[in-house]
């Protein structure tokens, strides 16, 4: 079954190879209204690498900071018990537009 959701991200370069970033769930409003929670599995070097959001108002957004790119594994749990899994490749850019590869 294909998922009606995608993961979106924002990023802000803070300098010295450090970014503030956020990810959130995007999709049709009627589908987002049926989401119970979203579990974000970050790189294991993060404190509390598994983060859970039930905040529909923020589109299940989490915010954090770091220096490297990695795949974020996402589990979307629906109110009816269905689950969707997604993977988002975190992408971080320097002010000149180049992408960090670390």
| Domains of the chain, earliest start first | 6-89 (2.60.40.1970)
30 contacts 81 by C-beta, under 8 angstroms = no
pLDDT of amino acid 2: 84
pLDDT of amino acid 101: 80
Q: Find residue 77's DSSP bridge partners.
A: 37, 83
Confidence tier at 16 by pLDDT (50, 70, 90): very high
- Strands 50-53 and 35-41, bridge-based pairing: antiparallel
Q: What is the mean pLDDT of the chain?
A: 96
Residue 34 CB-half CA count within 13 A:
13
Q: What pLDDT digit, counting tens, does each position of 51-60 carry?
A: 999 999 999 9
Confidence tier at 1 by pLDDT (50, 70, 90): low
Compute the 3-state secondary structure of the chain and give helix, strand, coil in percent, each to the nearest 5: 5, 50, 40
Give mean pLDDT, residues 31-37. 98
């Amino acid at each position: 079954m294909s998922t009606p959701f995608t993961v979106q991200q924002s990023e802000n370069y803070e300098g010295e190879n450090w970014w503030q970033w956020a990810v959130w769930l995007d999709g049709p409003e009627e589908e987002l209204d049926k989401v119970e929670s979203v579990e974000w599995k970050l790189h294991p070097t993060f404190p509390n690498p598994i983060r859970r959001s039930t905040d529909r108002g923020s589109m299940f957004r989490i915010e954090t900071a770091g220096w490297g790119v990695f795949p974020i594994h996402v589990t979307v749990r629906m109110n009816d018990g269905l689950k969707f899994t997604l993977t988002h490749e975190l992408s971080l850019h320097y002010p000149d537009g180049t992408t960090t590869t670390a």
